[in-house]
Amino acid sequence: MRRTGFVALATMAAITFSALPSAAESARTGDGLPAGREAVPEVAEPAPAWGPDPAWEPDPAWEPGTAEPGVTEPGSTEPGSTEPGVTEPGSTEPTVDSAPEPGPLPEPVPERFRIRERRLMFGAVGQYREEILDRERELGQPLEAVRVFKRWDEPVFNEHQVWARDTGHTIFVSVKSRRKDGSDIRWRDIADARPGSELHADIVRQAQELRDFGAVVYFTFNHEPEAKGSRAMGEGADFVDAWRKIVDVHWAHGVRLARYVWTVTPVAFDRTDHTSAELFYPGDDYVDHIAADAYNFYNCSNPEGKWLGFAEVVEGHRRFGLRHPDKGLMLLEWGSVEDPAQPGRRAAWLADAARTLLSPGYEQYRAVLAWDARNLDEEWACDFDYASTADALAAWRAMGNHAAFGAGEPCEIGDCVRLTDFFAPSRQAVRSRPARRGRRRAR
């Protein structure tokens, strides 16, 4: 059963000496999903850009673990130039009626590879209430984590995120350095924004929304900054300064329940040119978790593309994490296309991902959130939709129903509230990761 997830921050005394009780338990329907599914009015603002940037598909000659020879610039349509649509409630989604019921992983994880006392948070993109409910119907149980994408000049949260919070979901929000009208904002302008300026006021507004949300939020500024879609916004040093400026202003305005998740593409960890992940890393004092958007593109937009196993896709990310052992690792987007010549290969890839994440050497991983590409223009979108075939959906459901992927709240992945979060003399002081109040759901 779900419980709502408010963490009241009304006064410092309330945090020090007592905690407000969580809200009443949500009503449930017979199928295990939240009651009250009446339509929520859609936001009339333009849809934000999201999903993998085609520019970071690996070069055909690139081998995982080695430096990529330059940056491939595919000729496919750029997400930043043609904005993806948003699946509105009531629109047609791939059917899952014929999908097998959730069950164990196709190949059980050998006992010697099980990591005891560790759970990962499992989730998917969930921009709207109906989108979340659709994915929960596909999974056969509630999602914990939902990923949302916002533009710079729109509210960080709308009624859909409020509903998600109140029904026990954890929000992962990405704010792009791009306005609703499609114009880019240069990172240097954000970094240099002074009090009284429009950009500084935007940062303060974001801080106030995060502070007043009353729940743990995983916040990403401009995911995939090194990819083609963000090239016009600046260089690595500009991004670093803008990231630090945002986090410092958030902290100065009382944000304590946000956790900052730096997110790049996996190939950036092996590059040595101007798109190297190293050049965009804000530093350990400004990052709580290190994330990657990890895909096996195969030959989706590159006829010479190679099929990459899950471990190959994330290896650079994993190795980067070993150099930052106090940071959690996350996959905020991940998936694989199907192999037309070998049906079922994607399902096997998903099952292998589950086994790999539970194997020795992957203990830093904390959360995995699928992205299914349903909201993208078909002219350039690769088919990463796990629900497009019954066997892939079964593998995804099996993973999501596995106990090891059943972290029911942020505290279960190490993000628990402590008083040092609120009384530390500076943001750079040792900070524990906060957790949303509320009882963990039974899985």
Mean pLDDT by 10 residues, the chain (443 residues): 39 37 37 39 40 49 43 36 38 39 43 59 96 96 97 98 98 98 98 98 98 96 96 98 98 96 97 97 97 95 89 98 97 95 96 97 97 68 90 97 95 82 52 38 40
CA dist 400 and 379 (Å) reads 30
pTM for the model: 0.74
SS3 340: coil
Comparing C-alpha atoms, which of 287, 290, 333 is closest to residue 313? 333
pLDDT at 416: 87
Q: CB-based contacts of 213: which residues, under 8 Å, 6+ apart?
A: 156, 157, 165, 171, 257
Rounded to an integer, what distance in angstroms lies between the CA atom of residue 294 and that of residue 289? 15
Q: What is the pLDDT of residue 118?
A: 84
Q: Which domains does the chain have, with CATH numbers?
A: 12-423 (3.20.20.80)
Q: Which of 331, 412, 329 is nearest to 364 (CA)?
A: 329
